[in-house]
């Protein structure tokens, strides 16, 4: 019986081999493809069939391709080529893959600002050029490399899901039916930054009516309510102005927001923790501190702190507290040492007893063992037999070539290897923040050879 021939992948313009349909955006169907001329992976976005006869949407698609070819900003998709086939416009862009910000929990202030500056810069470049930009949403921001994000239109959602997703970031005037403006985009960016800092969306709803209802009843929290341990007045002011209900009180556009963001970025290098309140020789203040020791109040700058005299009771109280804390630490350390000694002696006694019993009889006492699937063995560096420390991590960088293993932490340090997605490594040290990115030192294997180096903590998870 003759076998049917294996179907071959279609090739667009005798150059782009279409490998897989990834999904659809509001305007286009997106495919993973391969540029056979330049030997690289690309994305092909083709205008959806049902939109061919809708001239305004067709024109918008072509306009996006034209501006994308100018590569207005590194955090926007770079368009390599464009054309038309069977009456459907298409564009060929750089290939991107990775986790979206929606998939991350709350970010540190430093990392959140690192990514947010790139997003705001991309939007500002589009506004300055009069170009359309992807909708503002955490689902549309992809972490494609160490410390680098890109603003795209997510094709993993259906167009209906995308519409609900974007509606959660609308400014109040947009929810009332007014057209978008540069300041309404600033409001959307403000909501995005809040989500990056907290890991939660400000507006939620199961459908459009639920989202609109939530927006009408929205009371935005302050920065201190979001992250109580952070004291960064410049960031608090930026968030309050970006998300002001009145459009006239907001930053007028993304460029103005970007300029204010630069000041916040500079202030991050200063101390962002709330200061502990100094102790005063005031019995009322001492009683308040004893009743609520968890409170952390900053004194007003205009109120000078008097220097206590040598006879002031506050000195005695502070000394007694320090002595009590020191005694508690010593007691805790002694307790831990006793428990550790008990465990060590018990384990040693068990092993010695089992060995003696095996020597006198044929009885073998059970010993703890780790079962692995048949045929699977783990190297010493991964099981911890050699050094007995460090948790196992798994590389989760998505559908890209691999995760850079660097000689030192930092975005510009020497790359010593490439760890494929799914590779298991053992954590040795870290995290250490360099270039506003957290790094961990790991040990793993590349082509059967043990290697050690630093990787971005954002692309590994606990195994």
Please write the tens of the pLDDT for every residue from 142-153: 998 888 999 999
Write down the pLDDT at residue 339: 57
Write down the pLDDT at residue 267: 78
Mean pLDDT across 401-415: 85
28 and 135 assigned to the same domain: no
Q: Which domain holds residue 75?
A: 11-94
Residue 197 lies inside a defined structural domain of this protein:
yes
Domain boundary among 267, 302, 332: 267
Mean pLDDT across 202-225: 80
Q: Kind and range of the H or E element at 437? A: strand 437-446
63 and 193 assigned to the same domain: no
Domain boundary among 59, 94, 129: 94
Please write the tens of the pLDDT for every residue from 345-364: 565 555 555 555 545 544 54
Residue 39 lies inside a defined structural domain of this protein:
yes
222 and 131 assigned to the same domain: yes
Number of domains in the chain: 3
The CATH number of the domain holding residue 402 is: 2.30.30.40
155 and 254 assigned to the same domain: yes
Residue 329 lies inside a defined structural domain of this protein:
no
3-state helix, strand, coil in the chain (%, to 5): 40, 20, 40
72 and 114 assigned to the same domain: no
Record the pTM.
0.67
Write down the pLDDT at residue 426: 92
Q: What is the DSSP string of 66-129?
A: HHHHH---TTBPPEEEEEEETTEEEEEEE----EEGGGS-PPPHHHHHHHHHHHHHHHHHHHHH
The CATH number of the domain holding residue 28 is: 3.30.200.20
Mean of the per-residue pLDDT values of the chain: 78
Q: Which residues pair with 454 in a beta bridge?
A: 406, 441
17 and 120 assigned to the same domain: no
Under the banding of pLDDT at 50, 70 and 90, the label for residue 54 is very high
């Amino acid at each position: 019986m003759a076998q049917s021939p294996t179907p071959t992948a279609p090739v667009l313009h005798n150059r782009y081999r279409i490998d897989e349909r990834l999904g659809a955006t509001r305007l286009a169907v997106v495919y993973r493809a391969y540029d056979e001329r330049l030997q690289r992976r690309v994305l092909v976005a083709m205008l959806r069939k049902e939109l061919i006869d809708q001239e305004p949407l067709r024109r918008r698609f072509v306009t996006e391709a034209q501006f994308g070819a100018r590569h207005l900003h590194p955090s926007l998709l770079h368009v390599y080529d464009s054309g038309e086939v069977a009456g459907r416009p298409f564009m060929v862009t750089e290939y991107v893959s990775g986790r979206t910000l929606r998939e991350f929990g709350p970010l540190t202030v430093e990392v959140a600002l690192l990514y947010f500056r790139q997003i705001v810069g991309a939007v500002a470049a589009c506004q300055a050029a009069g170009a359309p930009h992807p909708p503002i949403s955490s689902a549309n921001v992809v972490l494609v490399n160490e410390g680098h994000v890109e603003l795209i239109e997510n094709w993993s959602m259906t167009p209906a899901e995308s519409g609900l997703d974007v509606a959660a970031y609308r400014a109040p005037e947009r929810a009332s039916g007014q057209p978008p403006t540069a300041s309404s985009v600033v409001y959307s960016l403000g909501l995005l930054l809040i989500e990056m800092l907290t890991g939660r969306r400000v507006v939620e709803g199961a459908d459009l009516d639920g989202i609109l209802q939530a927006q009408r009843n929205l009371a935005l929290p302050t920065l201190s309510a979001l992250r109580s341990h952070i004291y960064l007045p410049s960031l608090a002011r930026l968030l309050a102005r970006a998300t002001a209900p009145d459009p006239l009180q907001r930053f007028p556009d993304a460029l103005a927001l970007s300029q204010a963001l630069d000041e916040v970025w500079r202030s991050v290098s200063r101390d962002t923790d709330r200061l502990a309140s100094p102790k005063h020789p005031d019995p009322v203040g001492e009683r308040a501190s004893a009743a609520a020791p968890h409170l952390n109040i900053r004194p007003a700058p205009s109120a000078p702190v008097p220097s206590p005299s040598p006879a002031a009771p506050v000195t005695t109280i502070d000394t007694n507290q320090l002595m009590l804390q020191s005694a508690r630490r010593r007691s805790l350390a002694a307790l831990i040492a006793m428990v550790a000694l008990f465990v060590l002696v018990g384990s040693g006694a068990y092993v010695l007893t089992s060995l003696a019993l095996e020597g006198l009889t044929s009885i073998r006492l059970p010993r703890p063992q780790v079962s692995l699937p048949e045929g699977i063995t783990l190297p010493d560096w991964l099981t911890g037999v050699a050094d007995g420390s460090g948790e196992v991590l798994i590389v989760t960088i998505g559908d890209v070539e691999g995760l850079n293993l660097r000689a030192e932490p930092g975005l510009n340090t020497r790359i010593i290897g490439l760890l494929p997605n799914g590779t298991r490594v053992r954590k040795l040290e870290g995290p250490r923040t360099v270039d506003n990115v957290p790094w961990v030192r790991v040990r793993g294997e590349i082509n059967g050879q043990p290697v050690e180096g630093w990787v971005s903590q954002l692309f590994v998870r606990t195994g």
